[in-house]
Structure 1
Amino acid sequence: MLKPGQKIEFVLEDLELAFYKEQLDRITKRWNNGESLDKISRTEQRETDEVFLALFHQARKGKITRPFAMRLEKE
């Protein structure tokens, strides 16, 4: 938790972080089927960073079958 009295900065405030469930499902399906991040962003008319964050969210929920990053070693 952030401590009172410290300077804070909100991040990603220029991005739309909410998705319609149907759009999130389409993004996930397109990614798992091999489409690129740029192509999905264009098709869905969303910022590339927003699509990346959607995929990150879906990966945390175990819904991504095609990796977009690989952790080589656990710390």
Structure 2
Amino acid sequence: MDQPLRIRHIHIESGTLNLHYRAPAEQAQDVADALAASHPESELSVTIDDEVQEDLPPLPCTQLWE
């Protein structure tokens, strides 16, 4: 039986850039890992939590992270 899709809140911040999205848990983690690997010494901060709100836009291009 398939498990229900868990949706998470992903927050991406760097300087004045402050983005909030909702995304499937695995995709949110994949994005966070990719950003951390590609920007290891930057001010980039990515957090993932369960504070999902209905008005959050979906993570753009989620199919790229499947």
TM-score for both structures, normalised by structure 1: 0.26
Q: Which has the higher contact order (CA 8 A, sep 6+)?
A: 2
TM-score for both structures, normalised by structure 2: 0.28
User: Which structure is higher in helix share?
Assistant: 1
